[in-house]
Structure 1
Amino acid sequence: MGIAAASLAAAFVQSAHAEELIAVDVPAMRLDTALFQLAEQTDISISFASDGIRDATSSAIKGHFAPGEALDRALAGTGFAAIRVAPGAWKIISTAPTGIRPHDWRAPRPIQLVAKPNTSGSTLSDELEKVVVISKRAESLAQIARSVSVISADHLRTFDVDSTPDLTGEVGTIQFSNVGSGRNKPYIRGISDGALAGRAQSTTGLYFGDVRLTYAAPDPDLRLIDIESVSILSGPQGALYGAGSIGGIVRMQPTPVDLGAASFETGAAIDLTGDRSIGSDFDLIANLPVVRDKFGLRFVAYDQVISGWIDHENLGIDDANSSHRFGGRLSAGWQLDAGTLISLQAVSQDIDVDDSQYLIHDGGDAFRPSILEPHDNDFKLVSANIETQTGLGVLTSTTSLLSHRIYSRYDATGLFVDLLPDATSPRPIDEDDKLFYITNESRMSSSSGARVPWFAGVFLSQGHTDRDVYLRDGTAGIWQDIAYEEDRRDKITEYAVFGEAIWNLGERFTLTTGARAFAYDIKVKALSDFPEGGIEQVFSGNLSRTGLAPDVRLKWQATPQLMTYLSAAEGYRSPGFNTGGFADLSPAGQTQPNRIFNGDELWTYELGARYVAPDGRLTLAATLFQNEWKDIQTDELLVNDFVFTGNAGNSSGYGAEFHVTFEPNEHWTLHANGMLNEPEVIRPNPNFPIDDNAALPGATEWSGSFSATHRTRAEIFEHTGDFVLALSGEFTGQSSLLFGAGTEIAPQSILDLRASFETDAWRIGVYAENLLNSSDPTFSNGNPYQTRHWNMVTPLRPRTIGLRVSKSFR
């Protein structure tokens, strides 16, 4: 598969570098001004560091040129050169020796982005005009006809967003379950099928660059260090990002290798959770251009100890739920020529969690399970990407190999009375999942300036999931005997052809039509064994399906500042098999669990608008949406104390979301996000245990977040830098823990406060998370086997106060 992709890329390289010629007329002038005019005339985006640009003078250029050639002519003799970093996007680098000795290295200067329209007085406008590839093509954020939020690297850094669950406080539409690090599931706009991951795919797709991270697995919770941006798209993205992304997409874009300059940054932090539990963090980032402007390496490493706060009084262990997250990334970039970039990447991360983090409530008492419930989440990824300019457009091909192991232990005390002579004795049930997938996606995007912008691509994924389940028995603490076991392997193959085109319907209207034609094949083999009873079950089965996921969007550019759109899109998840548990797995249409659970599909309809003030200091975005979800898959079906996947019924819901960003002056940046949502199950499946008019698990009727940042110039101990004060808050309304009977989750609120002093080389910051020390309950049922037996409550992490110091060199 990878060889085929490389061959395809090579074939297109033969016709490379043919670009549409564009009329250009830019006289000799100050270089930064010339770049603004050149970006305007050629409809490209150009980024550059401020150092030296304003002191240089451009060469005059007049005639018809391809954008790259026009840039080269304008930069001739200036000491600067242009390299292409994305379709229609260029970066200006210095070609002169720096004269800086290694011990005089300093932090990178902020990057200024040149793109139409020019509202250079606002950093917010820079963010809006950044070229992003959310929709599989390079587009400015302000022009994307989708409900999308992009969190910049600066924002991630200011608010210490280092884990995916932290995104909840940045965007009001996304939420996460709170089962524990490496166990959580994201969901967008309340499209939730439950708190725990099982055999059903997550409703939200997680991507690291162009690589899908999960299939039917929890969030690997990769550390968000050295991340260029995080993009969150609401609603089905089947035409763009594949089958399972029915609720939306979270796309983490790592910082690429800088081929022009060496840099090094290291940081350390220490914090106190509650009144006694100490955590720590260490990280480093190194960038090395081995061959300047041609080949370079980038390395990231980190080691983080997250202190616990739940005491296990049964075993006499304080702060039992501590966790350890450590890992790193190694990236390589090779600029083969002006139109071809090859990128390689390796990612490794391990999470070791000592215990779960829920409490069992019984009347007025709260206590812990009988045993420790540890969890491991070990994630490995290698990927290769080639991007090249061809005669047809920009070809991008990414091949990845992913290995993911997830181990969890749960307390099975009091369960499985039909299998055990003494079910009241403490004993665990262990789940050990091993996933391995090989994936390739290759796509061609039209060149900048095409009359009908388009892209088309192919997708192939092949892999397997091995699941081993062991119900242990024997001496307490050793549990040397196996009372029940299931060994299962799922082999899953996915194929897809996808594409999209944008049609100009007039001066202000465009119609985007897209679709994804897909096919998949699922093969399952399972062996269930009850040694004591001499019972053994063997099953093998095969499922194949094909389908089409359309995506249609009509955009109206009402004014240069106001864009509106209307869209309809479909997402789907594949069916699958139930095995094990010695349940009577009936055919479809009878009492669940059925041998085959149905695939589900979601249609989302949106009416959205985005407004950008003429000075770029205010943006408003609002979306009305309607969700129609059919045959909802969920892993919340328990029979004989075993967990199965079922179909809960059909859901319908409507809602609204809004996003506001305001920069009243150079010191303040204000963000606010909110969502109103009314999802409910309107047609319960009569063969599934669910209440009439039940809510979707974890789906709140309202949620929101805000942040306020104040930045001012200051001098401390003869060091001049920026003093930054940042306050953020997150609020969610009441929700339900389960589809049917279960505890209600009360509203939740949390406030964080941060302050830092930042120079070119140093950053020193203090922070207080959960400033008011709230203990509000969160969306988590902790132990999937005990959801019908225990009232489990997972409180927020207590107030955590910390200090972080980082030093950068360049």
Structure 2
Amino acid sequence: MRRRADLLFVAAAILASATPAQAADRQSISIAPGRLGEAAIALGRQTGASIGMSDQALAGLATQGVEGSLTVEAALKRLLKGTRATARRIDARTWRIERMRIASAPAASPAPPVPPAPAPEAPPAEIIVTASKRDTPLPRYAGMVEALDNGVFTSAQAASGTATLLARIASLSSTHAGNGRNKLFIRAIADSGVAGPTQATTGQYLGDMRLNYAAPDPDLKLYDVGRVEVLEGPQGTLYGAGSLGGIIRIMPNAPNLGDYGGQVSAGLSATQHGDPGGDLSATLNLPIVAEKLALRVVGYGVQEGGYIDDVNRGEDDVNRVRTWGGRAALRFAPDENWTIDLNGVYQHIDGDDAQYATRSVGRLQRASAVSQPYFSDYLLANLRIERQWDSLRFVSSTGYVRHELAESYDATQPGSAPALFRQDNKVDIFSTENRLVRDLDNGLGWILGAAYLQSTSDIHRSLTSYGTAAVLPEIIPNVPVIGSGRAAPATGVRNSVKEATLFGEASFEPVKGLIATIGGRLTNSRLSGEALEPVAALSSVDIARAEAQADRNETIFLPSASLLTDAIPDVTLYARFQQGFRPGGLAVDDQRVRRYQNDRISTFELGFRKGVPGRDPLALSANVAYTDWRDIQADVTDRIGLPTTANIGDGRIYTVEGRIVLRPLSALTLDGSFIYNDSKLSRPAQFLRALSYEGESLSLPNVANLGGRLALDYRMALAQDMSLHLNGAARYVGKSRLGVGPILGQTQGDYVDTSLTASITRGPVQYSLSLTNLLDSNGNRFSLGTPFDLRSDYYTPLRPRTLRIGIDFAF
């Protein structure tokens, strides 16, 4: 995995002894196959030589291993064999890896063309867990991690965004209210399926910049993404609040300082029972000053055809979704030790209508009185600065996010005029993190950092009735019903949090073969909340009391510890303990403003890992975890049916998961994984205790009891410049409940989702054909329709069988 420190310059001048070895001395060298960036660092550490490179693209080249008693020059020649790079000696101890220059040949008589020799297969690279913030090799990482590199993202999968990650990772789950409206859960750390003001349980990052806080998944498209890492949680020490279940870290491809290039892709899709769709994207990399300054720009547009019919309004395929947006990255490298990145992201999602259907009406049908459109606007700006001193790195990341999600729900009551409830959530996030990292051999080292985050969430609500009678019946208690399509405000809420944090983590080897890691995060949170546009019936005294309770300071320390051993060859055993938390805030419950307090989670896990997926013929991993969750925050519904947040009590979760990856042939990979969850609300809050059966506890919401995935991947060379790639997968999602209690107790899940993709690449052009939901299953992904009617048999169906044809062109 490409190290962040290698993006412009790899400085590996670590002294092997008090007297530096000369370049001509033979030394014992042992370097595993992997990326050139990691290999150069390892060679520098083992020999005391300083080895640099100014073109970040070279750091990602695959290299063969080197073993034996060699000089630095000989080792470099072996590492660079078959690559497009060469090594130039600067002085007795310093080498520079450069892009190989191909001299122009003098004019001569044309010779018969000679077919190029087949390129040797690049050795699989070592997996580096960069989301650990210390670039830890996978065998030395204590925990469950999924790492997806750019080889798995076709243009069709990039267009699907988060849905692609859900299809590939068994421990990742989601609600399915619509693109940009979903809550993501890792492992079984799920609070509820309703969207309220509470903070997410899963942290999402673009590089080092936080994507979300008190809002759903922004569902950024995965175009020009080099890697995605999913770390199971809690991840409180390194990532702080909102990482109870874990984190998802998306790493876009960085600007290339040396090469001009890009890619264009286009696709057309046809959905059975629905409308056609399409997608278009373009990527351009533009070096402005060679090896100093470069710009990389990505733009895209995606339309997903609708497939749900509204029989009451006589409209077909109402749930069409359009997404468009892009990213821009500017990289400046003033010298070999500095990297400065300026990044920007914008994405807009426009949904014509809600995504749910009603079983009693018919397959892929419902009967609504009004349309329920929604939109999501997402804007991000980030400045990242990195400075490298040999094995020491300083990283500073500062940025701003503006995220607005506007939703609408059918609020029509039986026998009444059509009505629509709207909710608009505007979230602003400012965050900065500054850390100092020292990476030593084999995952040893330390990190020390400070961070500050400020987030404000404004939720505005309104009710619109389209009735024209002189007197209209009340829909929400104490909220006026004006009629004639005019909106009346309902009580909203503003929550603000300011977090100042110090964190640190260190890994050391007390005895050979045993690595201990300890860490901690100290966070001071300043919380405040207030009611927005309160209805006239609300008592100003009650509002003032709730706001006073919400205005408070909290200081929390989150410890972490792990033990790991690789004393058994090619096997890693580990034990890990870590905590996480979410701050409290204000919520509106039955048009009253109430406070909810912070929750805290503690997880202890045992696991093992054998081999590295994609590198070894057999790779195994398994994990058993126990989670204790106190004062669980959950987005629930109040007596009226509106989303609100409350502490629902204490819970516990047992989790067992495993994965096996086989490579019976160099071209064939078989991948199987499963996860089993047993969750209970062991001590329900007072308002939920009446719902518990005698001697039995309630299950936590949105936690499937069982999930699994089977996949195959086959790659074959058809000719000198032509290759075939086949990929097929089937994922099972087990049963879960929408929420807590009989009203939100509807079941969901228990379905199989399937996909098949084939692509042929010839030179710079790739032709692809993909098919999703091969069986045209009608499985229920999510049982919530409109919160104003929680007793109908709503379900959110899988997208019906969809065929896509696409073409990609690289230049």
TM-score range, shorter chain: 0.7 to 0.9
Question: What is the aligned partner in structure 2 of residue 798 from structure 1?
Answer: 800
| Mapped pair 1:694 → 2:692 | no
- Cα separation, 1, equivalents of 2:457 and 2:657: 37
Question: What is the aligned partner in structure 2 of residue 644 from structure 1?
Answer: 644
Note if contact 1:24-1:62 (Cα within 8 Å) is conserved in structure 2: no
Which of 129, 149, 152 is residue 149 of structure 2 equivalent to?
152
Question: What is the aligned partner in structure 1 of residue 511 from structure 2?
Answer: 506
Task: Give the C-alpha shift of residue 53 in structure 1.
Answer: 9.4
Alpha carbons of 1:559 and 1:793: their partners in 2 closer, same or farther (altered >3 Å)? Answer: same
Aligned-partner SS, 1:687: helix
- Cα separation, 2, equivalents of 1:729 and 1:666: 22
Question: What is the aligned partner in structure 2 of residue 419 from structure 1?
Answer: none
Q: Which residue identity is paired with 1:565?
A: Y
| Mapped pair 1:599 → 2:598 | yes
Task: Give the C-alpha shift of residue 457 in structure 1.
Answer: 0.4
Task: Give the C-alpha shift of residue 785 in structure 1.
Answer: 3.9
Which of 553, 557, 560 is residue 562 of structure 2 equivalent to?
553
Alpha carbons of 1:680 and 1:159: their partners in 2 closer, same or farther (altered >3 Å)? Answer: farther
Aligned-partner SS, 1:239: helix
What's the CA shift string for 1:721-765, capped at 9, x where partnerless?
Answer: 111111111102221122111212251101111111012301101
- Cα separation, 2, equivalents of 1:774 and 1:554: 44
Alpha carbons of 1:478 and 1:311: their partners in 2 closer, same or farther (altered >3 Å)? Answer: farther
Task: Give the C-alpha shift of residue 489 in structure 1.
Answer: 2.6
Note if contact 2:271-2:803 (Cα within 8 Å) is conserved in structure 1: yes
- Cα separation, 2, equivalents of 1:256 and 1:623: 33
- Cα separation, 2, equivalents of 1:663 and 1:192: 34
Note if contact 1:48-1:91 (Cα within 8 Å) is conserved in structure 2: no
Task: Give the C-alpha shift of residue 706 in structure 1.
Answer: 1.8
Q: Which residue identity is paired with 1:263?
A: G
Task: Give the C-alpha shift of residue 144 in structure 1.
Answer: 1.4
Note if contact 2:136-2:442 (Cα within 8 Å) is conserved in structure 1: no
Q: Which residue identity is paired with 2:368?
A: P
Question: What is the aligned partner in structure 1 of residue 447 from structure 2?
Answer: 455
Which of 710, 715, 725 is residue 714 of structure 2 equivalent to?
710
Question: What is the aligned partner in structure 2 of residue 383 from structure 1?
Answer: 382
| Mapped pair 1:135 → 2:128 | no
Alpha carbons of 1:802 and 1:28: their partners in 2 closer, same or farther (altered >3 Å)? Answer: farther
- Cα separation, 2, equivalents of 1:444 and 1:261: 31
| Mapped pair 1:724 → 2:729 | no
| Mapped pair 1:521 → 2:515 | no
Alignment RMSD (CA, Å): 3.6
Question: What is the aligned partner in structure 2 of residue 414 from structure 1?
Answer: 413
Task: Give the C-alpha shift of residue 619 in structure 1.
Answer: 1.2
| Mapped pair 1:569 → 2:567 | no
What's the CA shift string for 1:55-79, capped at 9, x where partnerless?
Answer: xxxxx9569xxxxxx979999xx99
Alpha carbons of 1:28 and 1:319: their partners in 2 closer, same or farther (altered >3 Å)? Answer: farther
Aligned-partner SS, 1:602: strand
Alpha carbons of 1:278 and 1:358: their partners in 2 closer, same or farther (altered >3 Å)? Answer: same
| Mapped pair 1:439 → 2:441 | no
Q: Which residue identity is paired with 1:268?
A: A
What's the CA shift string for 1:476-532, capped at 9, x where partnerless?
Answer: 89854334423433222111110100121111001100111001112222134446x
Note if contact 1:747-1:776 (Cα within 8 Å) is conserved in structure 2: yes
Note if contact 2:406-2:424 (Cα within 8 Å) is conserved in structure 1: yes
Task: Give the C-alpha shift of residue 449 in structure 1.
Answer: 4.7
| Mapped pair 1:608 → 2:607 | yes
- Cα separation, 2, equivalents of 1:796 and 1:28: 64
Note if contact 2:188-2:653 (Cα within 8 Å) is conserved in structure 1: no
| Mapped pair 1:372 → 2:376 | no
- Cα separation, 1, equivalents of 2:538 and 2:649: 37
- Cα separation, 1, equivalents of 2:429 and 2:776: 42
Alpha carbons of 1:51 and 1:611: their partners in 2 closer, same or farther (altered >3 Å)? Answer: closer
| Mapped pair 1:327 → 2:325 | yes
Task: Give the C-alpha shift of residue 156 in structure 1.
Answer: 2.2
| Mapped pair 1:771 → 2:774 | yes
| Mapped pair 1:467 → 2:476 | no
Q: Which residue identity is paired with 1:209?
A: G
Q: Which residue identity is paired with 2:382?
A: S
Alpha carbons of 1:413 and 1:506: their partners in 2 closer, same or farther (altered >3 Å)? Answer: same
- Cα separation, 1, equivalents of 2:264 and 2:804: 17
Q: Which residue identity is paired with 2:522?
A: A
TM-score, scaled to structure 1: 0.84
TM-score, scaled to structure 2: 0.83
Question: What is the aligned partner in structure 2 of residue 664 from structure 1?
Answer: 664
How many percent identity over aligned positions? 28
Note if contact 2:258-2:290 (Cα within 8 Å) is conserved in structure 1: yes
Query: Which range is displaced more, 311-320 or 322-331?
Result: 311-320
- Cα separation, 1, equivalents of 2:33 and 2:175: 49
Note if contact 2:724-2:759 (Cα within 8 Å) is conserved in structure 1: yes
Task: Give the C-alpha shift of residue 334 in structure 1.
Answer: 1.1
Task: Give the C-alpha shift of residue 262 in structure 1.
Answer: 1.0
- Cα separation, 2, equivalents of 1:238 and 1:344: 27
Alpha carbons of 1:304 and 1:73: their partners in 2 closer, same or farther (altered >3 Å)? Answer: closer
Unaligned regions of 5+ residues in structure 1, if any? 1-15, 55-59, 64-69, 84-89, 101-108, 113-119, 416-422, 586-594
Note if contact 1:179-1:780 (Cα within 8 Å) is conserved in structure 2: no
Q: Which residue identity is paired with 1:175?
A: S
Aligned-partner SS, 2:348: strand
Query: Which range is displaced more, 631-640 or 338-347?
Result: 631-640
Question: What is the aligned partner in structure 2 of residue 270 from structure 1?
Answer: 268
- Cα separation, 1, equivalents of 2:370 and 2:516: 58
Question: What is the aligned partner in structure 2 of residue 21 from structure 1?
Answer: 15
Which of 223, 228, 231 is residue 229 of structure 2 equivalent to?
231
What's the CA shift string for 1:304-361, capped at 9, x where partnerless?
Answer: 1110111112212111000100000000111121111111100000000000111234
Task: Give the C-alpha shift of residue 467 in structure 1.
Answer: 1.6
Note if contact 2:146-2:169 (Cα within 8 Å) is conserved in structure 1: yes
Which of 166, 170, 180 is residue 168 of structure 1 equivalent to?
166
What's the CA shift string for 1:641-677, capped at 9, x where partnerless?
Answer: 3332111121112121112222111220111111111
Question: What is the aligned partner in structure 1 of residue 737 from structure 2?
Answer: 736
Task: Give the C-alpha shift of residue 362 in structure 1.
Answer: 4.5
- Cα separation, 2, equivalents of 1:32 and 1:747: 43
What's the CA shift string for 1:560-599, capped at 9, x where partnerless?
Answer: 311110011111111112236434x6xxxxxxxxx22121
State how 1:87-126 maps to structure 2 within 5 Å: 93-94=98-99, 96=101, 125-126=124-125
Aligned residues: 733
